[in-house]
Chains A and B, each alone.
Chain A
Amino acid sequence: MWVYEKKLQYPVRVSKCDPMMAKFLLEQYGGADGELAAALRYLNQRYSIPDKVVGLLTDIGTEEFAHLEMIATMVYKLTKDATPDQMRAAGLGDHYAAHDNALFYQNASGVPWTAAYIQAKGDPIADLYEDIAAEEKARATYQWLIDLTDDVDLQDGLKYLREREVVHSLRFREAVEILKEKRDEKIYY
């Protein structure tokens, strides 16, 4: 089961109302390489992966939900004072028509999240390689998002999230090595 802790993993601050940046951030909310996809991908892969790496998938998958909450907080803070006119000017007029200022699991272009973004192949190496690629894509997306804003407070939170994906990628690479060692043991003994 999961227990909720009433705090963010890392402080989220923004220095201005900026619905256009909120729109871009949705890429990491409901996008293919976003935090929802990451959390659901890793937690779902656990059931068919060797015991040795279930702990890692559980922990990173859980941490991704904390990242999802941070992105939601960024979007919330960037849009909570936005008027319908400001939402429209930011390209969120169609979003406003359907959701007001509510959050919705979609990417920056408004495409709803889909399970087709994530895979569980039943092959541990294939799954972990997908996870490494997902982390690298998430890291790159965070870099592009940092480049898109001049809000240093927002950049601070995004840089934290970018660095987390670097660590996740490293840990998944180590998990691949652990499984390869195990596989080789099986072959020789």
Chain B
Amino acid sequence: MQKMLDENYYKLLHELQAVDFVLVELNLYLDTHPGDANAIQQFNQYSQLRHQIAHKYESQYGPLKNFGQSYSGTPFNWIDAPWPWQV
């Protein structure tokens, strides 16, 4: 069953995608520049921010991750549509 996707859904999703983009970029950069303390500080700061945004998203639209990396509602709402290619 597909939940109603409002404007707020896309706003939160884009916020999450934006902060995750920063994190992927910093992660790959740090893979080859592991001594850059400034970048590490940014990485940890954005990691904390991503936690907050993901928590906000999940409390409204359900779990983002499987295998216990996200809490479940009742009934088990991990299996609910929409899936990423459907939005």
Contact = CB atoms under 8 A, between A and B. Distances in A.
- Same complex: yes
Interface of A: 3-12, 53, 55-56, 59-60, 63, 69, 72-73, 76-77, 167-168, 171, 174-175, 178
Contacts of B17: 7-11
Contact of B31 (A11, A55, A77): A55
18 contacts: A3-B66, A3-B67, A4-B66, A5-B64, A6-B78, A7-B84, A8-B17, A9-B20, A10-B21, A56-B28, A59-B24, A63-B28, A69-B84, A69-B85, A72-B85, A167-B25, A171-B29, A171-B31
Contacts of A8: 17, 84-85
Interface of B is mostly: helix
Given A171-B32, A178-B32, A7 B85 contact: no
A2 B28 CA distance: 18
Contacts of B14: 11
B13 A7 contact: yes
Give 6 closest A-B pairs by Cβ, nearest first.
A73-B85, A174-B32, A56-B31, A8-B84, A55-B31, A76-B85
B69 interface: yes
A73 B63 CA distance: 20
Contacts of B65: 3-6
Interface of A is mostly: helix
Interface string B1-36: 000000000000110110011001101110111000
Q: How many B residues touch the partner, as a band?
A: 20 to 34
Given A11-B14, A56-B32, A175-B32, A6 B21 contact: no
Contacts of A12: 85
B50 to A, nearest CB: 11
A69 B85 CA distance: 8
A7 B63 contact: no
B76 interface: no
B35 to A, nearest CB: 12
Contacts of A60: 28
A59 B32 contact: no
A10 B66 CA distance: 20
A89 B87 CA distance: 27
A8 B64 CA distance: 11
Contacts of A56: 28, 31-32
Interface string B35-65: 0000000000000000000000000000111
